[in-house]
Amino acid sequence: MSMPECKTLSVPEAGALYYGLSRNGSYDAAKRGEIPTIRVGRKFRVPVAAMERKLDQAGATGGAA
């Protein structure tokens, strides 16, 4: 049995993957609400599904989400 694919990313991973941001830029974007986050203990994680939804909505409206 294989391990399931991780459904969350760290904030710097998500910022780099989706926006090409640096570590600090990623946390700044998360603080502004541009990267959706959830808190797990002391860590902030980015749900992949929420990030994909946010990008789909931005593409559908033609503007920044």
pLDDT in tens, 5-14: 889 999 999 9
Q: Does 26 reside within a domain?
A: yes
Q: Does 55 reside within a domain?
A: yes
- Total structural domains within the chain: 1
pLDDT of residue 8: 96
Q: Does 3 reside within a domain?
A: no
Please provide the size of the chain in residues.
65
Q: Does 1 reside within a domain?
A: no
Q: Does 4 reside within a domain?
A: no
pLDDT of residue 59: 79
pLDDT of residue 63: 64
The model's pTM: 0.81
Structure tokens at 46: 């980015």
Regions of the chain with pLDDT less than 70: 1-3, 63-65
Q: Does 29 reside within a domain?
A: yes
Q: Does 2 reside within a domain?
A: no
Give the domain range for residue 14.
Answer: 9-61
Q: Does 36 reside within a domain?
A: yes
